[in-house]
Chain A
Amino acid sequence: MTSTPTPTSTPTSTTTPPVAPPPNVRKVAANASLRHFLSRVAFAIVMTIVGVLFALPMVWLVLAPFDATPSLTLSWPDWTLDNFARLFENPYALRSIGNSLLLGVATMVIVVGFGALAAYAMSRIRIPGRDGILYGLLLLSSIVTGTAAMVPTFQIITQLGLINSYTGVVLVLAGGILPTVIFILKDFMDSIPKSYEESARLYGAGPFRILRDVVAPIARPGLAFIAIWTIVQVWGNFLVPFILLRSPDLQPAAVVMYTFYTESGQADLRLISAFALLFSAPVLIIYFVVNRRYGFRFHGGIKS
């Protein structure tokens, strides 16, 4: 979401030296400043084009849902709310948003909970080859939720009897996300001075107590970030629920969007555009709520 930069047209002023330099020096200086000016203009033009390219889909996302006949091109809409009315009549649309939320929150709870515990342990206990383990996990995690492992994943989940259940989807998603989360949170927890925990220990606090009272509150911005990031990941994940869920009732929004076709088998842009807007709203709302409540402030150490 890059914003279009306003092209700056002010040429950087050439500073006139107090003593007049020889003429050829002045010419070189003028040349240099002209070149500088041109390069700035070129930069502004390129950035504008890039910005517009990024902005167009956004504009489409906002305008198309209110257009009676949306197409893939961008045009001034023929204002209507009909698309939304039709969307709400669709039995799966609204429910799928709820499904997505459920999946997202469930995965988030697991990821933040286990991620915090694992990262804390990884950060505080000396395990031989710890960094190797972390990098290995990170590397493998991209495979778990990726296309390559889909067949084995499907087989495992079938064997476990978790096919067509949220438990299966949440487990696979959490498994794919956790390594990255542990990696990020471990870094956060490494930066918390050990003396905090040691002083809590002296007063008789056990490891869970220390994690709850000291480490988690200080790592809160990290945890908040992880929570949002997890929900966003789950929200946009198509493949895992698509493969592991059977009933249309259970499908999350990302999968349901794929089912909006007209009778003639073409993508129903009226439904899709309205749904897309609805689809993007919760993530933004979650972001703002979490940001306001938990904040991305970092306390860190006071002195060290």
Chain B
Amino acid sequence: MAGITATQLVKEYPGGVRGVDEIDVEITDGEFFALLGPSGCGKTTLLRSIAGLEAITSGTLVIGDRDVTNAEPGVRGVAMVFQDYALFPHMDVGDNIAYPMRIKRVKRDERRSTAERVGDGLSLQGLIERRPGQLSGGQQQRVALARAVATTPDVLLLDEPLSNLDARLRLEARTFLKELQRDLGVTTVFVTHDQAEALALADRIAVMRAGKLQQIGTPREVFQRPNNTFVAGFIGSTPMNLVPATVEGGSIAIGDARVPVPVGTEGLVRDGQAVIWGIRPEYLRWSPTEQPGGIPAVVSVVENLGASVLIAVHAGELKFQVVVPEDQEPAPGDRGWIVPQAPKTLLFDAESTQRIG
């Protein structure tokens, strides 16, 4: 078992693209750590740099207490599950799981029995003799996991492990992955572009954008106190409402409406400052009658989310999304007021997009 410490890590591809740009991150021993970000932000690059599959351009990488910045992948004590699983098509499941042991010259009987034991643990009973091509996507994923954990690595790296599965199987596999990680207690870094997956699984999340780290924190922290408007918009099943506003005489002017200055930002903003006011759609309430601190608006679109409804409303030039319980569903064209839960509102600087307070 081991923690991972990256310091000022840079990976520059030939041609000058910086896949990973001066990243500092400390992953503690036994942690389930998610790398989250939109496509092309460098998640895979960072993961592969940790694995040693990409040569690090500058900075240092420490796994456990060893500096492995320039170490060969084979000696880093890491195992990785690739997005395409990378199961060897010419070996059966047992040989696939046992392959790392074969390289370490473990005897054939021992290899086979370990493979079966690990396979059983991952509900692969009866599949040991099959070829990977004869397995379903979920089974292939478990074989890939079995191969990765069979050698009890210090660090387990997963590159979008769930993205090849269909929606239902993905939920199942998610729970499974979480249990496995808890049982093994192995330091795990997994890459995903699905914020719900990261929120559900990870102990801590690192949000990346264009090779740069935006925020590291627990799921609760990145959800409730995003560092900047990018994280605020990226996390959450419906993106946070972010609207331009100005500070005016101790309150926030949004269009013609006035809302109170968010808790904790008093004294950090000055009169006339341009800001971005943010609130999650879940923390807005829809009211057909006028409310104090409410913003008048007109419903334009109603989307059914099952137990709740997502409505898009216009308040003058501004657009908001609001999550409404199903029994209060308004109709398009209805007039009413959106009411923010004051403690849940956030303020960002309009220029730097960083959170204030």
Q: Do A and B bind each other?
A: yes
Cβ contact within 8 Å between A195 and B82:
yes
* Interface of chain A residues 258 through 299 with chain B (CB within 8 A): 299
Cβ contact within 8 Å between A198 and B85:
no
Cβ contact within 8 Å between A300 and B104:
no
Cβ contact within 8 Å between B84 and A193:
yes
- Among the stretches B70-78, B112-120, B174-182, B349-357, the one at the interface with A is B70-78
A302 within 8 A of B: yes
A193-B84, A218-B89 known; A198 and B53 CB under 8 Å?
yes
Cβ contact within 8 Å between B87 and A202:
no
Complexed CA–CA distance, A199 and B74 (Å):
10
Cβ contact within 8 Å between A203 and B89:
no
B331 within 8 A of A: no
Cβ contact within 8 Å between A196 and B103:
no
Cβ contact within 8 Å between B89 and A199:
no
Cβ contact within 8 Å between B73 and A202:
yes
Complexed CA–CA distance, A193 and B83 (Å):
12
Complexed CA–CA distance, A213 and B89 (Å):
11
Complexed CA–CA distance, A159 and B220 (Å):
80
- Residues on B with C-beta less than 8 A from A300 are 89
Complexed CA–CA distance, A185 and B83 (Å):
26
Cβ contact within 8 Å between A302 and B140:
yes
Complexed CA–CA distance, A304 and B87 (Å):
12
Cβ contact within 8 Å between A204 and B75:
yes
Complexed CA–CA distance, A199 and B89 (Å):
13
Complexed CA–CA distance, A303 and B89 (Å):
10
B90 in complex: contacting residue of A198, A200, A218, CB < 8 Å: A218
A23 within 8 A of B: no
Cβ contact within 8 Å between B104 and A196:
no
- Using CB atoms, name the residue of chain B closest to A206: B74
Complexed CA–CA distance, A199 and B87 (Å):
9
Cβ contact within 8 Å between B103 and A204:
yes
Cβ contact within 8 Å between A198 and B82:
yes
Range class of the A interface residue count: 20 to 34
B88 in complex: contacting residue of A214, A220, A304, CB < 8 Å: A214
Cβ contact within 8 Å between B82 and A199:
yes
B133 within 8 A of A: yes
- Residues on A with C-beta less than 8 A from B78 are 202
B86 within 8 A of A: yes
A202-B73, A203-B74, A302-B140 known; A196 and B53 CB under 8 Å?
no
Cβ contact within 8 Å between B99 and A303:
no
Cβ contact within 8 Å between B84 and A304:
yes
B51 within 8 A of A: yes
A302 in complex: contacting residue of B53, B87, B99, CB < 8 Å: B87
A205 within 8 A of B: yes
Cβ contact within 8 Å between A302 and B132:
yes
B151 in complex: contacting residue of A203, A213, A304, CB < 8 Å: A203
Cβ contact within 8 Å between A213 and B99:
yes
* Interface of chain A residues 199 through 244 with chain B (CB within 8 A): 199-205, 209, 213-214, 217-218, 220
Min distance, Cβ B354 to any Cβ of chain A, angstroms: 38
A18 within 8 A of B: no
B80 within 8 A of A: yes
Min distance, Cβ A124 to any Cβ of chain B, angstroms: 13
Complexed CA–CA distance, A205 and B74 (Å):
7
- Residues on B with C-beta less than 8 A from A129 are none
- Using CB atoms, name the residue of chain B closest to A201: B73
* Interface of chain B residues 60 through 105 with chain A (CB within 8 A): 72-75, 78-80, 82-90, 99-100, 102-104
A301 within 8 A of B: yes
- Residues on A with C-beta less than 8 A from B53 are 198, 201-202
Chain B CB within 10 Å, residue with most, of A214, A220, A301, A302: A302
Min distance, Cβ A302 to any Cβ of chain B, angstroms: 5
- Residues on B with C-beta less than 8 A from A198 are 53, 73, 80, 82, 86
A196 in complex: contacting residue of B88, B100, B133, CB < 8 Å: B88
Complexed CA–CA distance, A300 and B51 (Å):
25
- Per-residue CB contact flags for chain A residues 168-211 toward chain B (1 = under 8 Å, else 0) read 00000000000000000000000001011011111111000100
- Per-residue CB contact flags for chain B residues 37-51 toward chain A (1 = under 8 Å, else 0) read 000000000000001
- Residues of B in contact with A (beta carbons under 8 Å apart): 51-53, 72-75, 78-80, 82-90, 99-100, 102-104, 132-133, 137, 140, 147, 151, 164
26 contacts between A and B (CB under 8 A): A193-B86, A195-B86, A196-B88, A198-B86, A199-B86, A199-B147, A201-B53, A201-B74, A202-B53, A202-B73, A202-B79, A203-B100, A204-B103, A213-B88, A213-B99, A217-B88, A220-B90, A299-B90, A301-B84, A302-B87, A302-B89, A303-B84, A303-B85, A303-B140, A303-B164, A304-B84
Closest 3 CB pairs of A and B: A204-B74, A203-B100, A195-B86
